[in-house]
Structure 1
């Protein structure tokens, strides 16, 4: 499997993903890795309908994503991974999926989260997962929209949490 783009964006398939990121990825398929969405038939249907024309979309949990990654049948498939949270990215990487770069695009503010940028809010579990991804060699690239400059997300975490 050829991973052309991996992105955290808790809105999943929306305007920016459909019009910009899917084209930039040059992928054949979007794979959404999210346990909650995987179990929600209505949300799965809506996301599949929002998929850009000409692209396939699959919604899986981490175990299924790892199995597909290791299946030789998909060795030449170009894939754009979408996630809602860093813990699932971390579990994917720990499961043997070779991921060198993670684009961080959007994590909404909710109760219990700390706003790092106007588009990214994290809780302590997110910070732990990002730190571990960083220690495993995954470059964490903060870029909400394509025209934004590339920014090392760990620098933003360090600024916000004054380590």
Structure 2
């Protein structure tokens, strides 16, 4: 089975922080982008692996990402990147073998009522409920932009913002 080293919520998907900082810090052998819309977009399926700077990359639907990461024949260290909070919730509900969720960047979605929980993370009330449900099920949820940043309990941040 794949060793999911990190499930990261980051709407930017693959970018410099991921490829230059996180991949080396976590000794990641493969990136998996998990989002149903992105998996159907031929342009993004071509572009994202090129953005990964040589790190093998798969761009998959939520369901296919879970299957990929649960494959007992794979033995890679994988970072799964979810575009939106809802992707992370669905990945975990479908059985992604991730020990924790790290919220890196979540830009506000147009037309939604959101609260900026950190300078780079916007959360709706519905998303806050999803993060709390993950935490209540025993999955730690952190906020951390860079490996050099101290991971911060995300549920505590939500509480400070009355979410």
The two structures have a TM-score, normalised by structure 1, of 0.91
Match of 2:34 in 1: 33
Is contact 1:109-1:121 (8 Å) kept? yes
After the TM superposition, which residues 99-114 of structure 1 pair with which residues of structure 2 at under 5 Å, given as runs? 99-111=98-110, 112=112, 113-114=114-115
Match of 2:65 in 1: 65
Is contact 1:22-1:52 (8 Å) kept? no
The two structures have a TM-score, normalised by structure 2, of 0.91
Is contact 1:9-1:105 (8 Å) kept? yes
Q: CA deviation at 1:128?
A: 2.0
After the TM superposition, which residues 88-107 of structure 1 pair with which residues of structure 2 at under 5 Å, given as runs? 88-107=87-106
Larger CA deviation: 110-119 vs 151-160: 110-119
After the TM superposition, which residues 1-163 of structure 1 pair with which residues of structure 2 at under 5 Å, given as runs? 1-53=2-54, 55-74=55-74, 76-111=75-110, 112=112, 113-161=114-162
Cα distance between partner residues in 2 of 1:44 and 1:125:
29
Is contact 2:36-2:60 (8 Å) kept? yes
Is contact 1:90-1:132 (8 Å) kept? no
Cα distance between partner residues in 1 of 2:93 and 2:64:
14
Is contact 1:105-1:142 (8 Å) kept? yes
Aligned to 2:96, the other structure's residue is in SS state: coil
Is contact 1:29-1:57 (8 Å) kept? yes
